[in-house]
Homo-oligomer: A and B are copies of this chain.
Amino acid sequence: MNVVDIAQAIEDMDNAENQVRVFRLLPKDSSAEVFSYLDSDTQSAIVEAITTSELKFLMEDMFLDDAVDFLEEVPANVVTRVLAHTSPETRNLINKFLKYPENSAGSIMTIEMMSFPESFTVEKAIAEIRKTALDKETIYTCYCTDSQRKLVGSVPLRRLIVSRDDQLISDIMYDDDQLIFVNTLDDQESVAAIARKYDLLSVPVVDNEQRLVGIITIDDIVDVIEEENTEDFEKMALLLPSDDEYLKTGVLKHTKNRIVWLLILMVSATFTGQIIEGFEDKLAAIAGLTACIPMLMDTGGNSGNQVSTLIIRGLALGTIKISDYFKILWKEIRVAFLCGLVLAVVNFGRMYLLRAITGSETTDSVFLVVCIAMMCAVMVAKMIGCTLPIVAKALKLDPALMAGPMITTIVDAISLILYFNIAKLILHV
């Protein structure tokens, strides 16, 4: 069975004792790999149950990035037990890794990379690879260093094995402009963007002195991409972002993640309340005006949501830049005009039909007010929807915070003011 499937099978057992028993039966050479695919609860249970020598073996056999991931998630007493039983070098390395800022390249890299001096020949490099391949996280891109351990080039294994044995690495490696790398402190999101842009299988990480300190492999980058997408989905839905899975998050944590923005936006609704209160007697006097408030608000909110999502996504994928703002605004004005027009015309028909059916007393002038207000609401919503995410980006804030619900609250207030003023103007109230 595949190690991923073994880990899954262990996860699916409902008894922690059985999980530990099965884990202990695994062949030595795959136990560390299976362990790295388990979730943190199961990992803790296993670490607490196995012997010291088993634990030592496990820690030395795991890739450093997996060990760090594991230690970041488990309770402090487990961390203490683990660190007490690892070799001093591993312990120092782990401590160093745990200190990198969250979501930095340093925090997700691993040190088990294939690297050799640029002065090697192809033959020597291949011999080195054959000797050490099993301890490396990947060997498919090798990195070349100079005498000060500075990163000076990269060479794909494919290029190595089609080269002549006596060629020098420095003659076949990609260097200068062709060499892509990141710094330990770079954000994981930008690392993912670079890997995606250049179709890399691994990205080398250097420190401030340009020394090669680690690599980030594509499987971890794929996880980063999904994590960053989840974070954007959550932020856009007014949630505090969280790395935990839905089912493993407690009720109190869920409540905490949700209540903050709900409270902020509920209190902001004071404005819309005040606007309506100021117009309450006129709303009461004219039949049909109040009934259209939800439709106007929802249509405005939905229109704004559409464009803000497109802009946020474009900014995240790098297909939209801040400097495109005026191009975008001009496009949105035209799209909003067309959308608004269609909506207004259909709405006129809908209200007309509804009056014929229900025999309500709503007048044609009210229809006109609603349709003009609809048009204005869509125009305002589209313009705000494309402006706010770009302003956020320019202010170095996360554009994802400027999504639907945030924009809805602003658009609500503006559309109501417009609605009531148009009503005043046309109905002379």
Contacts and interface: CB of A to CB of B under 8 A. Distances in A.
A161 B178 contact: no
A121 interface: no
Given A1-B177, A343-B259, A234 B309 contact: yes
A111 interface: no
A291 B267 CA distance: 13
A184 interface: no
Contacts of A429: none
Nearest to A288: B277
A298 B317 contact: no
B230 A317 contact: yes
Contacts of A338: 251-252, 255, 259
Given A288-B277, A291-B273, A305-B404, A409 B258 contact: no
A347 B258 CA distance: 16
A284 interface: yes
Contacts of A270: 295, 350, 354
A4 interface: yes
A76 interface: no
B201 A140 contact: yes
A237 B4 contact: no
A319 B2 contact: no
Contacts of A23: none
A291 B420 CA distance: 13
A239 B299 contact: no
A137 to B, nearest CB: 10
Interface stretch (A52-60, A67-75, A80-88, A324-332): A324-332
A185 B261 CA distance: 43
Interface stretch (A94-102, A143-151, A204-212, A221-229): A221-229
As for how many copies of this chain the complex holds, the number is 2
Given A178-B2, A310-B239, A314-B245, A343 B299 contact: no
B247 A320 contact: yes
Contacts of A312: 233
- How would you classify the secondary structure of chain A's contact residues: helix, strand, loop or mixed? helix
Interface string A32-68: 0000000000000000000000000000000000000
Given A294-B293, A405-B305, A339 B133 contact: no
Interface residues of A, number: 114
A223 B195 CA distance: 11
Contacts of A360: 277
A305 B266 contact: no
A17 interface: no
Contacts of A180: 2
Given A133-B162, A258-B335, 12 more contacts: A2-B174, A2-B177, A245-B319, A255-B335, A255-B339, A259-B342, A262-B302, A262-B339, A272-B291, A273-B354, A283-B284, A404-B404
Top 6 A-B residue pairs of the complex, sorted by shortest distance between their CB atoms? A269-B295, A237-B309, A284-B284, A199-B219, A272-B294, A273-B291
30 contacts: A4-B198, A133-B162, A140-B157, A196-B226, A225-B226, A233-B312, A246-B311, A246-B314, A246-B319, A247-B314, A251-B334, A255-B338, A255-B342, A259-B342, A263-B342, A263-B346, A265-B299, A266-B295, A266-B298, A269-B294, A269-B295, A273-B292, A273-B294, A276-B294, A277-B358, A280-B287, A280-B290, A294-B412, A297-B297, A298-B408
